[in-house]
Amino acid sequence: MPQNLKLIGFLSVLLSCTSAVAQVSFFGDLYIGGGKEVHVAFDETFFSGGQIKTERKGEKGILSFGKQSKWEQLEEGSFVDGVVRIYHEGDFTFPVGEQTVFSPLSLFLKKNEGFVDVAYQNQIPLLYPTNNSTYEIPKDHFWSWESAGATEGTVQIHWTPKHQLQQLSYHHLDPNALRLGLLSLGYWNRIPAHFSKNLFFEDTPLSVDFGSVRILNPIDLSEFQGLTFLIEKEPSTALKLISQIITPNGDGINDTWKISGYRFTERSRIFIYNHGREQVYHFEGLYQNDWDGSSENNGEILKQGSYFYTIDWEGDSRIDLEGWLYIKSN
């Protein structure tokens, strides 16, 4: 457990010195223990360095914000690694995250008769299901909340490259394929939502690296426990094919090596060998069906003949598929 007695003393001095201008800045790490609550009533709060960590297990530690309080992140990586609470209605973005991932959640509340606690975890807790016949439910990224009293409004989450959304799917991930799922009584329910560019990075277009998504219709937060991303599964009848011949002559037919119906990841690896077991090509990541039979050594099309391939889907050095392909170069 962090011991921040010096910081807490410094923070007390900082609060008393800045009360005249109604703002507070956090410059270092602060720990809020179980059953404790630190309330920020200043108009402006600046996260200028370090993190505020609150106890997550058992009795929670809480950082709460007043109705007029606004915050700004001045240093990347400076946020609340734990639980943030509000007691008011209206719009508020919770400056939450975990470890190095800043993962804010915005609430647009029409009603809040008690309080709302929000937290973010890099991984979905094991007690929640990740199996679904219609959607892939990744094990990463879980925004959770607890509310006391009737609480009605819409929810918005935001992501950046640190979320590594491409890792959520075996396929090349288009942001338009993402869906939003709400957790209720142990089940994930898809909810209509609108995807847009990240509100914290307005100069960047919507992509797997930057974006925001907002639930379209107000919900009663007390009926749900949190949300995550869902990805629609491909039909189980998808035909799995690996082409056995490449004819790189520019006629648009079999010019490249095609693989369909299989799930590539960022860790997938392909290796091609000649009859002498010499490696002539390799690829790591999401294969795009674009290898034209050229050698990785000199860029020229390989000699006509048969070549042996191996595929490792997960990058764990195990061969998942192997076989032969033929290059007809003239």
Give rounded-to-5 percent helix, strand, coil for the chain. 10, 45, 50
- What pLDDT, in 10s, does the model give residues 18-62? 444 567 777 788 999 999 999 998 888 889 888 999 999 999 999
Identity of the amino acid at 139 = K
Name the helix (H) or strand (E) containing 8.
helix 5-18
Which pTM does this prediction carry? 0.66
Q: Is the pLDDT of residue 17 over 50?
A: no
User: Scanning the structure block, which residue is given the tokens 């457990």?
Assistant: 1
- Domain extents for the chain? 5-232, 241-327
Q: Is 208 helix (H, G, I), strand (E, B) or coil?
A: coil
CATH code for the domain defined by 241-327: 2.60.40
User: What is each CA distance from 174 to 79, 112, 170, 231, 232, in whole angstroms?
Assistant: 29, 36, 12, 10, 11
Tell me the CB-side half-sphere exposure of residue 104, using CA atoms within 13 A: 22
User: Cα–Cα distance between 201 and 291 in angstroms, integer?
Assistant: 35
- What pLDDT, in 10s, does the model give residues 77-118? 999 999 999 999 999 999 999 999 999 999 999 999 999 999
Instruction: Using alpha carbons, select from 70, 176, 167, 154 the residue that is nearest to residue 122.
Output: 167
Instruction: Using alpha carbons, select from 46, 42, 44 the residue that is nearest to residue 28.
Output: 46
- What pLDDT, in 10s, does the model give residues 153-190? 999 999 999 998 877 765 566 666 788 999 988 788 88
Long-range contacts of 307-310 (CB under 8 A, 24+ apart): 307/272, 307/273, 307/274, 307/280, 308/272, 308/273, 308/274, 308/275, 308/277, 309/270, 309/271, 309/272, 309/273, 310/270, 310/271, 310/273
